[in-house]
Amino acid sequence: MHARLTDSPSPSIASRIDAIDWPALLSDLDARGNTIIQGLLDPASCRDIAAQYANESLYRSRVVMARHHFGLGEYKYFRYPLPAPVQALRSAFYPRLAPLANQWNVRMGIDVQYPATHEAFLARCHDAGQTRPTPLLLRYGAGDYNCLHQDLYGEHVFPLQVAILLSEPSVDFTGGEFVLTEQRPRMQSRVEVVPLRQGDAVIFAVNQRPVAGTRGSYRVTMRHGVSRLRSGQRHTLGVIFHDAH
């Protein structure tokens, strides 16, 4: 696949996502709050997307993390219409993840269910004033990091999101591990380092997820971030399904 940002549409992304063993992947995601898809994007596509960081016309805003004490490094939110591969990722992932999102809400006693298509969910966001697109491209240099956070942008939150590593560890950069923490009620937090290679995607819980306990399920709170880069440059593509106020 050599999907270029200017191509439309990107059938190869949709077909790669369709080819995934979803029952196995969803059961891993349900059990651990995150799961990896290896080699979702090939290296050429990763390089092509990362190179678009400089293409200002694609973005609605740029965030310098240090200004907000979010970390060091920067990111840019895409504007609508999204580049074809980003649009393809968002609309192909969503219907695969919505059934698990719906189960999680039932198990957590949250009275919200997600529609079957991303288009319908976006209409809900947009009606509530969450109209600004949230997919983003991140760039880190040596010494940069991303503090533990949650990507919540309003009342409407889709509980799963995807991040794709566009750079190759050990070659393009060192350090810069994607990390997840899990805060359990009345217990100390757990941390997980997600071992991503270039083109790998991690799907993870945005905010809370249910964990089966001895007396029904309880909620754990998830946060994600990136450890300090020791050297080089690292790009990531973030796919968040709710839009922002």
Ligand X SMILES: O=C(O)CCC(=O)C(=O)O
Least distance to ligand X, CB of residue 164, Å: 8
Least distance to ligand X, CB of residue 217, Å: 25
Binding residues for ligand X, rule CB under 6 A, total 9
Cβ distance to ligand X smaller for residue 114 or 204? 204
Cβ distance to Fe ion smaller for residue 42 or 151? 151
The distance of Cα 144 from the centroid of its chain, to the nearest Å, equals: 19
- Residues β-bridged to residue 205: 160
Least distance to ligand X, CB of residue 5, Å: 18
Least distance to ligand X, CB of residue 196, Å: 8
Between residue 177 and residue 206, which ones bind ligand X under the rule CB under 6 A? 178
Cβ distance to ligand X smaller for residue 138 or 157? 138
Cβ distance to ligand X smaller for residue 153 or 218? 153
Here's the x/- map for ligand X, 155-174, by CB under 6 A: it reads as --------x-----------
The identity of residue 49, as a single letter, is I
Cβ distance to ligand X smaller for residue 220 or 226? 226
Q: Which residue has the tokens 């909620």?
A: 219
Residues of this chain that bind Fe ion (CB under 5 A):
151
| Residue 143 vs residues 56, 70, 160, 231: alpha-carbon distances, Å | 24, 14, 28, 7
Identify what 178 binds: ligand X, Fe ion, none; CB under 5 to 8 Å per kind. ligand X
Here's the x/- map for ligand X, 209-238, by CB under 6 A: it reads as ---------------x-x---------x-x
Q: In the complex, which residues of this chain contact ligand X (CB under 6 A)?
A: 138, 146, 151, 163, 178, 224, 226, 236, 238
